[in-house]
Amino acid sequence: MTPNRKQAAEALKDEISRLGGFVISPPGDIECIRFQFLIPGSSIHLQRLRDLGFNPVFRNADPRFGNDSLMPCNTFEICLKPDQPPIQDRTIYGEIATPEKTDREREQVLKYLGLKS
């Protein structure tokens, strides 16, 4: 998790709250942010989030308790893009050092293996 992603999640949660929505995802979750908007006027708030570059997905319609009454609301979810994995470039550039064996070493190895007497 990068600090930029965490900052983006916090900024998104603040923007949802500013628009009058209710963030219902767990506090530490920055993968997918679930939130609710009251049904009258939710399309205007969703368009604002789309203008910011997010893609809210409808999940379900639920009642929300508030002020001793039930208010209809829609639940949405925005999944943030995962971090870019680091590029694995394991190419070796330049010459690769290989130790050269002398003739004496080769003879000793062959003698040890029983291939030469």
**Does 85 map to a domain?**
no
Reply yes or no on whether the pLDDT at 109 is more than 50: yes
Give me the DSSP letters along 74-101. Answer: EEEEEEPPPPPPPP---PPPSPPP-PPP
Q: Which residue has the higher pLDDT, 83 or 46?
A: 46
Write down the residue that tokens 């029983």 correspond to. 114
**Does 38 map to a domain?**
yes
Give pLDDT tens digits for 14-72.
999 998 899 998 877 778 899 999 888 778 888 888 998 888 999 888 888 877 888 88
Tell me which residue range forms the domain holding 69. 3-79
Give pLDDT tens digits for 66-78.
778 888 899 999 9
**Does 96 map to a domain?**
no
- The pLDDT, as a whole number, for residue 35 is 92
Distance between CA atoms of residues 76 and 63, nearest Å = 14
Please report, to the nearest 10 degrees, the dihedral formed by the alpha carbons of residues 32, 33, 34, 36 taken in order: -150
**Does 18 map to a domain?**
yes
CATH number of the domain at 8, please. Answer: 3.10.28
**Does 24 map to a domain?**
yes
**Does 46 map to a domain?**
yes
Per the structure, how many domains does the chain have? 1
**Does 103 map to a domain?**
no
Distance between CA atoms of residues 76 and 36, nearest Å = 6
**Does 90 map to a domain?**
no
